[in-house]
């Protein structure tokens, strides 16, 4: 694990912003937005049950995240089945280059998206989803991830740390070292080949092409039934 922690100062700012927000009288959204239309039935699958060689580094189950405390009770990662299967294909293809995938986050209950939005100052909200619109994570069709070296088992260095709220996190950031950019772009090519699209502000965030076909969910991890 890379021990870059550029967000620690930001955590203090978030705490102040949250306290200020709680003092206002603005109406607060208490549940996911209502959606009209026809959607596929949710089929959330635990990623590592499809391929146990995919690694997990679920930061939101620890205090090492933008909130500064755990927001997940368990270090687990889920995706809708087509997205999970596509991720496995990308992981296996990357092995030819000496890398594997490490997952930071997959499906995210809507209530957690609401926490992130509430504590984030307006000028930093390009890095979080608006709960009024919901997140592709809430639909089980977004994944946050990086690479690890198959020889050493260590997570590789990219142009920024995961969840770093700076220009260095942009998918097309021209800075950093050539090696960092090469690995970042290798990950992007592998994911795009399998139907994912990178989020421009975050090199680690990828949305699966079928995300519109699934509803916004607020199911806790413990309530997700294992595949039969």
Active site residue 202: yes
At 87, phi and psi to the nearest 5? -65, -40
| Stated pTM of the model | 0.84
Q: Classify the C-alpha dihedral 180-185-188-189 as positive or negative.
A: negative
Nearest alpha-carbon partner for 212 in 134, 147, 116: 134
The chain-wide mean pLDDT, for the chain, equals 88
Q: How many CA atoms lie within 13 A of 15 on its CB side?
A: 9
Residue 124 to residue 164: CA distance in whole angstroms: 11
What is the pLDDT, as a whole number, of residue 121? 87
9-19+42-223 CATH: 3.30.1380.10
What is the pLDDT, as a whole number, of residue 12? 41
What is the pLDDT, as a whole number, of residue 216? 97
Q: Give per-10-residue mean pLDDT for the chain (228 aa).
A: 40 41 49 92 97 97 91 96 98 98 98 92 87 95 98 98 95 98 98 98 97 96 80
Domain spans, the chain: 9-19+42-223
The active-site residue, picked from 46, 164, 194, 202, is 202
Cα separations in angstroms, 37 against 34, 142, 144, 185, 215: 10, 21, 28, 36, 9
Q: What is the largest CA-CA distance in the chain?
A: 55
What is the pLDDT, as a whole number, of residue 15? 42
């Amino acid at each position: 694990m890379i021990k870059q922690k550029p967000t620690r100062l930001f955590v203090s700012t978030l705490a102040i912003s949250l306290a200020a927000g709680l003092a206002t009288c603005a109406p607060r959204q208490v549940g996911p937005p209502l959606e009209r239309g026809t959607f596929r039935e949710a089929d959330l699958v635990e990623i590592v049950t499809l391929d146990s060689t995919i690694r997990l580094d679920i930061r939101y189950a620890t205090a090492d995240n933008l909130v500064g405390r755990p927001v997940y009770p368990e270090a687990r990662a889920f995706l809708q089945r087509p997205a999970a299967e596509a991720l496995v294909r990308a992981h296996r293809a990357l092995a030819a280059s000496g890398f594997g995938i490490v997952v930071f986050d997959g499906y995210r209950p809507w209530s957690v998206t609401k926490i992130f939005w509430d504590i984030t100052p307006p000028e930093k909200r390009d890095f979080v989803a608006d709960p009024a619109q919901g997140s592709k994570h809430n639909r089980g069709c977004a994944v946050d991830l990086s690479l690890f070296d198959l020889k050493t088992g260590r997570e590789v260095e990219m142009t920024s740390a995961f969840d770093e709220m700076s220009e260095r996190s942009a998918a097309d950031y021209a800075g950093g070292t050539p090696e960092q950019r090469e690995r970042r772009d290798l990950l992007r090519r592998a994911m795009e080949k399998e139907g994912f699209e990178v989020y421009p502000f975050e090199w680690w965030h990828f949305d699966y092409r079928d995300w519109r076909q699934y509803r916004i969910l607020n199911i806790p991890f413990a309530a997700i039934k294992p595949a039969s």
